[in-house]
Structure 1
Amino acid sequence: MTLNKPKNYLFTALFIMVTSTLFSQELWQVKQLTHQKKNHAMDNNQNFSPDDVWIVYDTRPNEGGIGENAIIEKVNVESGKTKVVYQTTHANEYGPGVGAVSYHPSKNELVFIHGLPPSSKEKPYAMHRRLGRIVDETTNSSYWMDSRDVEAPFTAGALRGGTHRHQWSGDGNWLGYTYNDALMYDLEEKTGETYNLRTVGVSKRNLKSPSVSTKKAENFQGEWFSVLVVKVVPNPRPGKEEISKAYSDWWVGQKGYQKADGSRQMARAFLGDLKTEKGKKLTEVFIVDIPEEIDIEGPEGPLAGTSTTMPMPPAGAEVRRLTYTENAKYPGVTTDFRHWVTSSMDGVFLSYLAKDENGIDQVFLIPAIGGEPKQVSFHDTSVQSTVRWHPKAKEFAYVCNNQVYVNTVDEGMNPSKASAITETFDTAPYAINYSNDGKKIAFNKDVEGHVQIFVAERP
């Protein structure tokens, strides 16, 4: 590992002691935490409770089966005892469905996808028919996070479709998510033209949602003010930085990234699809700055959208393209399997997967402020998972060769030597995530036809 020159001997000694403790080459102690003959899906969220006592998950019957799932549960990390956190009423095969649950960073609150109730064959769970639901375990209460208004005239601060895989900001006062619009879905069904596009949105706790009429069909009153932050277009022009799909998004750092003037900027990184000059689809890494005031209309149009257009971003939601790989041997970010762009906790680096010169999926880093990307994994077989970051150190974890690996980088993005912290499993672990103290990594693994939770503890 390349190090900055230490200022004194004491600093050097302390650094060696800390890194040798944190980044030991020993295998971590692994235990299977759940054993019931059902699924325990963590879905690439922050699943540890703030005190690291519990891990929360959903019990969907299969990977795409959120609509069929009625229960959110949690399991005690020490005892393995489970507890139901939330259960839908009037559940049936068409929904409403709950899943993709995540813990608040400092409070006993959880957020998850909740399909629209009631549900039926005519109105089933769908990407454009879901909301964020928040459960407050302290008060044993729950509420809708985002408002939904699908009847004209539309309402700024309310959305018209479905929010998905909600992620808390570092301070817990924002939620970010992907989004599909119900009006655009209907328009595409009617016309046969492309309107139903995925994009990225955010909601703010301390900005109250406007009132919507819940007497209207499929309208819901939420608590947080919600907007979309990335404009998407159905037919991006070749060679232009127009995006047709924004997805696999992540908060940049716990407090955003540091700008050149020393201030910090809240932002979300995401993957975006565009077209090369030759008209070929290309997936690259983007970042969008999130303004503090999200209720001010931007230059692209109304926050609420119209009957034929999506809601538009607020003023100050500036998008930057970070990667330019169209001339690489293997252009673009890996799309062989679903993965998320992620961020170091200090907001300095973004991580993603792309193919190296041998066509093998590896971990790459790029500075959040922009710059050249750098390959930081060098395996003979492809990396198999989204990268997850230690909550305090520049350590990151991922799956390769059916093992969980950890590695570290210095300020110049120079990696150390990757260390396998688990044995080679019969099937690949996935949905890895660190505990809040950084001492444990939880992951899902298939065992005899069911998704189980495992925990690896640092020696």
Structure 2
Amino acid sequence: MKTITYSLLLGLSACISNESIYMNFSETQLTHAAQGHTIHNTQVFSKDSRWVVYDTRNDDTQIGSTGSIGMVNTETSEVRLLYQTTNQTEAGPGVGAVTFSPTEDRVLFIHGIRNADVSRPYGMTRRTGVAIAIDHPGEPIFMDARDILPPFTEGALRGGTHAHSWSGDGKWISFTYNDYVMEQLAKTDATVRDLRTVGIMMPRHVDVEQDNTLENNSGTYFSVIVTDVTENPKLGSDEIDKAFDECWIGENGYQKPDGSWQAKAIAFQGNVRNGKGETVTEIFVVDLPADPTKAINSRPLEGTLTSRPGVPSGVIQRRITFTANGVEGPRHWLRATPDGKLICFLAQDGRGTIQIFGVSPNGGAIRQVTNNDFSIQGPFNLNPTGQWVAYPADNSVFITSLATGDTYRITDRFTDEDKPVGAPNWSPDGNSIAYNRYVRGEGTDRYLQVFLLRKTD
């Protein structure tokens, strides 16, 4: 394991201050194998900060052709294989986008449907969530149940879950979802589309009748869809035709204006239509009931042959931003401070540069968090205390104080070819940041490797 220790001159953004200070960091390249090592957009560290989990994609579009999940030790660079698919081909089944539970030694990732082949390849409606206990590698735990054959099963889904994220207490999991039944119906009914939505799952076993197709599976969690979408949103309304790239609000929810506490809630990006009929992405919140397993009359949780799964009773969906241009910039997931007071997102500032902004889950004024002379280049993450945000910009990794806007470049500035890729991830102890960038191998080959930035002062 090679570690480079150096003192970085960390200058504050010229738009904030002319100060500069010295801080000591050590940067370690944790992985070296001639393959990809893609870390997810969040929750890649084990609860004790000793391991970073990754999949072996060398490009984020390659989940369908990726066959293994591994983890690397942050102290020794020891690599362990956690899971390997069987009968892996370019068409699937595929694995990727892996996260660590914040409370257990367990990881969770996308797994393509096990019967994948060229006629039934990996796809948005053909994937599910699988977990591995790290002391039992190779033993898959199917989390969300899947049942695409009527009569459908309550608590099971009929499509594909993606980008799983654990709640702060590690008990519930959120995800984005696409529905196979609606996808198939859309082929014969022009009024129907498979619309991306957001769902959650919670511990409760769901049994699904098995057959030899491997299309369906039972699950250890009960799953429901929690966002309402429609094919034709009314212009100027709060209706949406896509819900996506969500986050849990707070470690334990957030406080409402009346002083009451909402224990479980999700913020997500939703596509509305403005008065001109243009698509604008705004921020929405769904408040979740303590028991989200109760259906609304005529809206079964499992859906029907002609309707998508119903949203549970007690779910309240509301829009909290009303902007001219909405969310903008590279794809990213919303992030909320641990106290639940602020939801962060990307948008353009008055100069046309992409910056981080924040809004209360109760709505109201939007405030600008970063104020750089250059645009943010990818997704971001908050540290465990919610005081700092880490993000890629100007071909480097930066951190910014949410309270003051003080901004520091904490890596070298790399070339366009070698710049950081994806989201920097904070460790649970707040002392390290993991990030990806390409490193040249033999010849012209380049592989995504995992790097660790560790505070040393």
TM > 0.5: yes
1:15-62 Cα deviation digits (max 9, x unpaired): xxxxxxxx9752532222111121100120211111111110000242
Q: Which piece of structure 1 moves more, 271-280 or 254-263?
A: 254-263
CA contact (8 A) 1:300 1:313 kept: no
Shift of 1:277: 1.4
CA distance in 1, matches of 2:291, 2:199: 14
TM-score computed with the length of structure 2 as normaliser: 0.90
User: Which one-letter code corresponds to 1:239 in the other structure?
Assistant: G
Q: Which has the higher strand share?
A: 2
Partner of residue 75, structure 2: 78
CA distance in 1, matches of 2:135, 2:253: 28
**What is the aligned-residue identity percentage?**
38
Cα deviation for residue 298 of structure 1 reads 2.8
CA distance in 2, matches of 1:146, 1:216: 19
Asked if 1:356 is matched to 2:349, the reply is: yes
Q: For the Cα contact (< 8 Å) 2:370–2:405, is it kept in 1?
A: no
Show the counterpart of 1:428. Answer: 419
The reply to whether residue 251 of structure 1 matches residue 248 of structure 2 is yes
The one of 329, 332, 336 aligned to 1:339: 332
1:45 is aligned to: 42
**Which residue in the other structure is 1:315 paired with?**
313
Instruction: Find out whether 1:213 has 2:209 as its counterpart.
Output: yes
Q: Is the 8 A contact 1:176 1:203 kept in 2?
A: yes
Selected match of 1:127 from 112, 124, 128: 124
**Residue 262 of structure 1, CA deviation:** 3.8
* Distance across 2 between alignment mates of 1:100 and 1:324: 31
Equivalent-residue separation in structure 2 for 1:47 and 1:253 (angstroms): 18
Residue 273 of structure 1, CA deviation = 0.4
Checking the alignment, whether the CA contact within 8 Å between 2:40 and 2:99 is kept in structure 1 is no
Unaligned runs of at least 5 residues, structure 2: 1-19, 441-445
Deviation at residue 301 of structure 1 after TM alignment: 1.6
Q: Counterpart of 1:43 in 2: which secondary structure?
A: coil
Tell me whether 393-402 or 447-456 shows the greater mean CA deviation.
393-402
Question: Could you say which residue in structure 2 is the equivalent of 1:174?
Answer: 172
Q: CA deviation at 1:216?
A: 7.6
**Cα distance in 2 for residues equivalent to 1:363 and 1:300:** 41
Quote the RMSD (CA, aligned, Å).
Answer: 1.7
Paired position in structure 2 for 1:224: 221
Aligned equivalent of 2:291: 293
1:438 aligns with: 430
Cα distance in 2 between the residues matched to 1:446 and 1:271: 30
Moved more, 254-263 or 233-242: 254-263
Q: What does 1:39-438 align with in structure 2 at a 5 Å threshold?
A: 39-140=36-137, 141-205=139-203, 207-209=204-206, 211-215=207-211, 217=213, 218-259=215-256, 260-298=258-296, 301-326=299-324, 331-334=325-328, 336-410=329-403, 415-426=404-415, 427-429=418-420, 430-438=422-430
Task: Give the drift of 1:185.
Answer: 0.9
Structure 1 residues 300 and 280, CA gap change in structure 2 (3 angstroms):
farther
Determine the C-alpha separation between the residues in 2 that align with 1:58 and 1:106.
21
CA contact (8 A) 1:25 1:421 kept: no
Shift of 1:393: 4.1
Q: Residue 11 of structure 1 aligns with which residue?
A: none
Query: Which of 298-307 and 440-449 deviates more?
Result: 298-307
Shift of 1:192: 4.4
Task: Return the alpha-carbon distance in structure 1 between the equivalents of residues 21 and 243 of structure 2.
Answer: 38
- Look up the equivalent residue of 1:76 and give its one-letter code: N
Q: Which amino acid aligns with 2:280?
A: L
Checking the alignment, whether the CA contact within 8 Å between 1:399 and 1:405 is kept in structure 2 is yes
Q: Secondary structure at the match of 1:55?
A: strand
Normalised by the length of structure 1, the TM-score is 0.89
**Is the Cα–Cα contact under 8 Å of residues 25 and 419 in structure 1 kept in the other structure?**
no
Alignment check: 8 A CA contact 2:380 2:389 kept = yes
